[in-house]
Amino acid sequence: MTGMKKEQWRKQAACAGVPITVFIFDDEVKYHKDTKLQALEYCDQCPVIWDCLRFAYDNNIQHGIYGGLTTKERRKFRFQFRVLDQEKKNNT
Q: Which of 25, 27, 54, 66 binds ligand SF4 (CB under 6 A)?
A: 66
Rounded least distance, CB 54 to ligand SF4, Å: 10
Q: How many CA atoms lie within 13 A of 72 on its CB side?
A: 7
- On the 0-12 / 13-18 / 19+ scale of CB atoms within 10 A, 43 is buried
46 binds ligand SF4 (CB under 6 A): yes
d(CA 25, CA 22): 8
68 binds ligand SF4 (CB under 6 A): yes
Is residue 74 within 8 A of residue 81, CB to CB? The reply is no
49 binds ligand SF4 (CB under 6 A): yes
- Which one of 25-33, 48-56, 72-80, 82-90 is the stretch in contact with ligand SF4 (CB under 6 A)? 48-56
Phi then psi for residue 69, to 5 deg, are -125, 145
69 binds ligand SF4 (CB under 6 A): no
Site of interaction with ligand SF4 (CB under 6 A): 13-15, 23, 42-43, 46, 48-49, 52, 65-68
